[in-house]
């Protein structure tokens, strides 16, 4: 830094030393969050007015149009958190600076949380913040397919399969270079649901390569160039769709290393979000860039109380 405070929305820390220097206390963190949330100045979350002033405590804003009072963390994943914002920053740094992600247990130990459940809820809140980034549509040449992740768990009743069908779309830049990826859990595998997934994640006019199964041929009627080899149900998908095949195996390896327990369908969606977040930024040279993106998305994310996260889990 060449003097002045780090600006949220512009600067990001490049090293742990820099991280510590920039964010010594809650005030420094909140200043940074204001820059991220309101890069062009305060915007009222109630009426979108751009005029307001700080009141009483430094951290509250009053809208001059509707009179609503708000804080920089209101409506974000940090809303009504009982833990200090600097601890959240430490968690976000830890999660993004660790190459393959962290487990709830590691987060608990690193930050000294009293309970595993708290660490687990924090991790999932941060994962939710990872969902946002990738709403731009894929384009160019895109491979589209379904795969099954998960494995066989052995219980008292013997072995039972708990594989979950996952939809994958991945851009192929060149024969040996992949672009961005999108995932979704399939509730009706082997159906036209994969067509809908493709239409919601891939820009019209793109070329979509699939295994050519009959339902997927509808893609040609939806504004795409649909490519497939004749004679579907080819036994070797890895040759036909090498990008999807590679992403699927990387995903499975990552899940196996990250999950210390069986992922239920519900939580698998968050793991897919985290993996897509990491995969799509795998060429970022600075880990601090991931930290920056995560916080940027975090201040644009609705709060999710612990009760909601753990319901049905």
Asked if 8 and 297 touch (Cβ cutoff 8 Å), the reply is no
- Closer to Zn ion by CB, 10 or 47: give it: 47
Least distance (Å) between residue 36 CB and Zn ion: 20
Asked if 55 and 46 touch (Cβ cutoff 8 Å), the reply is no
Least distance (Å) between residue 219 CB and Zn ion: 45
Exposed / middle / buried, residue 140 (Cβ in 10 Å: 0-12, 13-18, 19+): middle
Q: Using CA atoms, how far apart are residues 301 and 298, in angstroms rounded to an integer?
A: 5
Partners of residue 161 on adjacent β-strands:
152
- Dihedral of CA 55/59/63/67: which sign? negative
Q: Using CA atoms, how far apart are residues 66 and 51, in angstroms rounded to an integer?
A: 10
- Closer to Zn ion by CB, 44 or 144: give it: 44
Q: State whether residue 300 is helix, strand or coil.
A: coil
Least distance (Å) between residue 118 CB and Zn ion: 34
- Closer to Zn ion by CB, 14 or 68: give it: 68
Least distance (Å) between residue 43 CB and Zn ion: 9
Touching Zn ion, residues 15-54 (CB under 5 A): 44, 46-47, 49
Partners of residue 226 on adjacent β-strands:
208
- Closer to Zn ion by CB, 66 or 173: give it: 66
Number of residues that bind Zn ion (CB under 5 A): 8
Least distance (Å) between residue 303 CB and Zn ion: 19
Q: Out of 30, 63, 130, 298, which residue is the one contacting Zn ion (CB under 5 A)? A: 63
Least distance (Å) between residue 29 CB and Zn ion: 25
- Closer to Zn ion by CB, 61 or 78: give it: 61
- Closer to Zn ion by CB, 51 or 220: give it: 51
- Judged by CB under 5 A, does residue 65 bind Zn ion? yes
Q: Out of 68, 79, 237, 278, which residue is the one contacting Zn ion (CB under 5 A)? A: 68
Long-range CB contacts for residues 173-179, cutoff 8 Å, separation at least 24: 173/140, 178/243, 178/246, 178/247, 179/138, 179/140
- Closer to Zn ion by CB, 85 or 299: give it: 299
- Judged by CB under 5 A, does residue 55 bind Zn ion? no
Least distance (Å) between residue 53 CB and Zn ion: 12
For 7-43, the DSSP string reads: PTTT----SHHHHHHH-SSHHHHHHHHHHHH-TTS--
Q: Using CA atoms, how far apart are residues 209 and 241, in angstroms rounded to an integer?
A: 8
Touching Zn ion, residues 250-289 (CB under 5 A): none
- Other CB atoms within a 10 A radius of the CB of residue 299 amount to 23
- Judged by CB under 5 A, does residue 66 bind Zn ion? yes
Summarize as ranges the residues that interact with Zn ion (CB under 5 A): 44, 46-47, 49, 63, 65-66, 68
């Amino acid at each position: 830094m060449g003097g002045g405070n780090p600006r949220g929305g512009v600067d990001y820390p490049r090293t742990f030393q820099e991280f510590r220097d920039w964010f010594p206390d809650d005030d420094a963190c909140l200043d940074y969050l204001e820059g991220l949330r309101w890069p062009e100045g305060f915007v009222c979350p109630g009426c979108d007015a751009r005029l307001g002033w700080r009141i009483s405590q430094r951290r509250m804003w009053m809208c001059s149009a509707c009179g609503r009072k708000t804080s920089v963390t209101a409506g974000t994943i940090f809303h009504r958190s009982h833990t200090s914002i600097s601890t959240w920053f430490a968690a976000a740094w830890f999660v993004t600076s660790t190459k393959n992600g962290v487990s709830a247990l590691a987060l608990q130990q690193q930050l000294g949380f009293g309970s595993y459940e708290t660490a687990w809820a924090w991790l999932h809140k941060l994962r939710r913040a990872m969902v946002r980034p990738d709403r731009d549509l894929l384009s160019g040449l895109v491979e589209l397919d379904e795969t099954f992740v998960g494995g066989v768990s052995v219980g008292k009743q013997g072995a039972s399969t708990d594989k979950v069908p996952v939809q994958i779309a991945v851009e192929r830049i060149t024969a040996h270079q992949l672009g961005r990826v999108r995932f979704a859990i399939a509730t009706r595998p082997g159906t036209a649901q994969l067509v809908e997934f493709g239409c919601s994640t891939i820009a019209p006019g793109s070329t979509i390569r699939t295994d050519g199964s009959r339902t997927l041929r509808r893609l040609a009627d939806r504004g795409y160039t649909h490519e497939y080899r004749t004679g579907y149900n080819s036994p070797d998908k890895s040759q036909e769709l090498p990008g999807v095949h590679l992403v699927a195996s990387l995903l499975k390896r990552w899940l196996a290393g990250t999950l210390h327990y069986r992922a239920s369908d519900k939580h698998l969606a968050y793991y897919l979000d985290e993996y897509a977040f990491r995969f799509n930024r795998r060429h970022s040279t600075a880990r601090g860039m991931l930290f920056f993106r995560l916080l940027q998305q975090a201040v644009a994310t609705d709060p999710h109380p612990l009760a909601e996260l753990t319901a049905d889990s």
